[in-house]
Chain A
Amino acid sequence: MPDRTGGVFVFAEQDGGTIADVSLELLSKGRELADSLGQHLAAILLGHQLDAQPAQLIACGCDVVFVADDPRLAIYTTLPYARVVCDLLEAQKPDVVLFGASASGRDLGPRVASRLRTGLTADCTSLEIGDHTDPVRKTEYKNLLYQIRPAFGGNIIATIVTPNHKPQMATVREGVMRLPEPDPTRTGTVVPVDVALDDEAELVKILERVKAERTVNLKGAKVVVAGGAGVGSSEGFELVRELAHTLGGEVGASRAAVDAGYIARDHQVGQTGTTVRPKLYIAAGISGSVQHRAGMVESSKILAINTDPNAPIFSFAHYGIVGDLFEVIPMMIDTYKHK
């Protein structure tokens, strides 16, 4: 049995028995953080009739999997999940707890942080271990979790720390961290968790639940053609779609385009959208804010098309076309079709 205090814990979100990609991605980062800290990596798994999932989590790097299996936990609801997770965290006292910034994660994370009266940083694009000196009291802290994320205010990356409260909590969006390579020879411990609830399961009842298959697969796309505010309208996005379709890629969008209603949020790339690493990322009419960059900067090749020669995107694109996307994209489609 590993040391029962400290540790890096990852909330393993599951739906219908399938563990969410974002949770697996957090395990690979969690493993690095645990190794840096010399602590163990644990997963928190809630659900009902769970079977192969703990083994999968161990193969992905966990030393321990805490499993709470109960019919009242079959589908995610806030209060029963928060109660079980908080009780477990109070007993185990981990150093770090990570949640995926999915709809459930963003519902559960803050509720847990509230009960534990600790800090939570949303949408981190990077997590590291490092030291910190309090600027006023000069107190020194070792091995804190650096919760790194772009901040509002232009080209700013902020490093946030939680020096005096435990656990240090953070949420991370899907695709920011890498999926782990499962190693089925890894061993670990499965610890069953008792589920003690008062009226938590009575206060919210799910009457109906409708979930469609994902139609937009940005993460797996080899080519992403993304449109920004410069596309100007939802009709304008037809051209973006056509190029994406021609090149065998997926359609992406900047937050500005989504907020303006040109295209659905499923297509948003960036810190608060999806993180992508395609072979080719074409940014059409996108200025290239730090938040957008965070979601696509690791693309193998970036082509920017923008009428503004001073758009920040040109400073990190591999290819830049200063021009009108409504002229350039048709030319690209034409050339490619006749290649």
Chain B
Amino acid sequence: MPLKMIVLIKQVPDTKNITAKAMNDDGTVNRSALPSIFNPEDLNALEMALTLRDAHGGHITVVCMGPPNAAEQLREALMRGADDVAFLTDRAYAVADTLATAYAITCAIRKIGDADLVFAGRQAIDGDTAQVGPQVAGALGVPQVTYVAEILDVAPDHIRARRLIDGGYEVVDVRLPALLTVVDEANEPRSRVAKRMMHYKRARTAMEVRDVIAQQLDPEKGKPDPELLAQHCAEPLADLERQGLLIPVWGPADIDADIEQCGKKGSPTQVKNINFVTLVAGEHKNVEPTKDGVDALVHELIEDHTLD
């Protein structure tokens, strides 16, 4: 029986590829120098939804909350097979902790309505909290199954899944609607579909269209007369919409979200301060990578009972 599914995704900096180029002199990472990628476990979540759609039919909407350039990941989701997408991008959502993030996402899910299953990756590689999935489930008031590695069976009102626990696994039946967080062990995400790539690489948000046309109309400052800009954008936007290539952008008003519960305002946690750990060259003993050097080291460690 066809499943209405929502997949939550996040754009993250590529934390696994922090090269010297991306490092500032003070030891911090220059985030803007890091490539932005689709959060890896969200790819696994999308793959799980795609696999279920292959088997049972249904519809997949991918939802992303992020800065304007995260539109790139929504294009990616469409290229990989999502039926449609919704983009939560607005200053009001920015600097949100997990609770405020979960709030906005939950409002979007409610607006989309009637989902049987919501999927999310277990955690994002920048925050690593694994909190947004369970907090969305909590705000929606639906059961959650975290660390899902496999879907074993699908029935009209429940699904059976295998989830990982510390040192093992459980097989559970969960009543629908439910939210699942998916681990990377679950599957190998399929590649983008070539035909979809050709089509969806042209998908744009209205802002992206306006920015390009504004630049064309006013190459120096990119700030043409607003009416002129609107006139020039009308046809391209209508055209994209006709082709299913206009990425919907939802601000708080579009999803009936209370802005006091979004973004920084809606975040109970705050960063009090950050300290840069300046790692000064410590008093370490340099050991030569030679037989003699290693011999001396091992014997020293045995002498002082570090090694038995």
Q: How far is the CB of B66 from chain A (nearest CB, A)?
A: 15
- Find out whether the CB atom of B173 lies under 8 angstroms from the CB atom of A163: no
Cα–Cα, bound, A39→B287 (Å) = 51
Is the CB–CB distance between A332 and B298 below 8 Å? yes
Interface membership of B146, Cβ < 8 A: yes
B172 interface residue (CB < 8 Å to A) = yes
Residue from the list A154, A214, A336 in contact with B167, Cβ < 8 A? A214
Partner of A321, one of B98, B167, B175, B293: B293
Does chain A have a CB within 8 A of B138? yes
- Are B274 and A103 within 8 A (Cβ)? no
Given contacts A158-B274, A324-B289, A122 and B130 within 8 Å (CB-CB): yes
- Flag A296-308 by CB within 8 Å of B: 1 or 0 each: 0000110110000
* A339 touching B269 in the complex, CB below 8 Å, given contacts A110-B130, A213-B167: no
Q: Identify which of B121-129, B211-219, B221-229, B247-255 touches chain A.
A: B121-129
Which chain A residues border B126 with CB–CB below 8 Å? 152
Q: Count how many chain B residues have C-beta atoms less than 8 Å from C-beta atoms of the other chain.
A: 82
One digit per residue, 1 when the CB lies within 8 angstroms of any chain A CB and 0 when it does not, for chain B 105-128 equals 000000000000000000000111
- B273 CB to nearest chain A CB (Å): 5
State whether B282 touches A280 (Cβ < 8 A): no
Q: Name, among B18, B160, B268, B270, the residue most crowded by chain A CB atoms within 10 Å (CB to CB).
A: B268
List, in ascending order, chain A residues with CB within 8 A of B69's CB: none
A208 to chain B, nearest CB (A): 4
Closest partner residue, chain B, to A101 (CB atom): B130
Q: How far, in angstroms, from A259 to B135 measured CA to CA in the complex?
A: 25
Within 8 A of B (CB), among A47-102: 78-79, 82, 102
Q: How far is the CA of A104 from the CA of B287 in the complex (A)?
A: 44
Contacts of B284 in A (CB 8 A): 304, 314-320
Q: In residues 258-293 of chain B, which contact A (Cβ within 8 Å)? A: 267-282, 284-291, 293
- Is there a chain B Cβ closer than 8 Å to A114's Cβ? yes
In the complex where A114-B134, A159-B271 touch, is A301 in contact with B306 (Cβ < 8 A)? yes
Q: How far is the CA of A317 from the CA of B126 in the complex (A)?
A: 26
Task: List the B side residues contacting A197 at CB < 8 Å.
Answer: none
Chain A residue at minimum C-beta to C-beta distance from B135: A114
B79 on the A face (CB < 8 A): no
* B294 at the A interface (CB under 8 A): yes
Contact of B138 among A110, A160, A203, A314 (CB under 8 A): A110
Hey, which chain B residues are within 8 Å of A262, CB to CB? none
Pick the residue among B13, B24, B168 that contacts A212 (CB under 8 A). B168
Whether the pair A320, B134 counts as a contact (CB closer than 8 A) is no
Say whether A123 contacts B128, CB under 8 Å: yes
Does A206 count as interface, using CB distance less than 8 angstroms?
Answer: yes
Cα(A119)–Cα(B15), bound, Å: 25
Least CB distance, B46 to chain A, in whole angstroms: 19
Chain A 114-163 interface residues, beta-carbon cutoff 8 Å to B? 114-115, 117-123, 132, 146-147, 151-163
Check A103 against B269 for contact (C-beta < 8 Å): no
Q: Which residues of A, 182-210, contact B by the 8 Å Cβ criterion? A: 202-210
Write the nearest CB–CB distance from B307 to chain A, whole angstroms.
Answer: 6
Q: Which residue of B lies closest to A156 (CB)?
A: B274
Docked CA distance A164–B169 (Å) = 38
A159 / chain B contacts, CB cutoff of 8 Å? 271-275
Q: Is the CB of B280 within 8 A of A156?
A: no
Asked if B232 is at the interface of the complex by the 8 Å CB criterion, the answer is no
Q: Which residues 226-279 in A have Cβ within 8 Å of B in the complex?
A: 247-248, 256, 259, 272, 279
Docked complex Cα distance between A318 and B130 (Å): 35
A177 is an interface residue with CB less than 8 A from chain B? no
Nearest residue in A to B176 (C-beta to C-beta)? A203
Identify the interface centre among A103, A157, A288: most chain B CB within 10 Å of its CB: A103
Select A111's contact among B135, B270, B279, beta carbons within 8 Å.
Answer: B135
5 closest pairs, A vs B, by CB?
A323-B289, A114-B138, A119-B268, A119-B269, A211-B168
Given contacts A111-B144, A154-B18, A159-B274, 9 further A-B contacts (CB under 8 A): A107-B147, A154-B23, A155-B278, A204-B175, A207-B170, A209-B168, A279-B307, A319-B287, A323-B289
Q: Which residues of B contact A (CB under 8 A)?
A: 13, 15-16, 18, 23-24, 26-29, 31, 97-99, 102, 126-135, 137-139, 143-147, 160, 164-175, 178, 267-282, 284-291, 293-295, 297-299, 301-302, 306-308
Interface residues of A (CB under 8 A from B): 78-79, 82, 102-104, 106-107, 109-111, 113-115, 117-123, 132, 146-147, 151-165, 202-214, 223, 247-248, 256, 259, 272, 279-280, 288, 290, 300-301, 303-304, 312, 314-324, 327-328, 331-332, 335-336, 339
Enumerate 23 A-B pairs (CB-CB under 8 Å) in ascending A order.
A78-B144, A103-B164, A103-B165, A110-B133, A114-B134, A152-B15, A153-B28, A153-B31, A156-B277, A158-B274, A248-B308, A259-B16, A315-B281, A317-B284, A319-B284, A321-B288, A321-B293, A324-B289, A328-B289, A331-B290, A332-B297, A335-B298, A339-B298
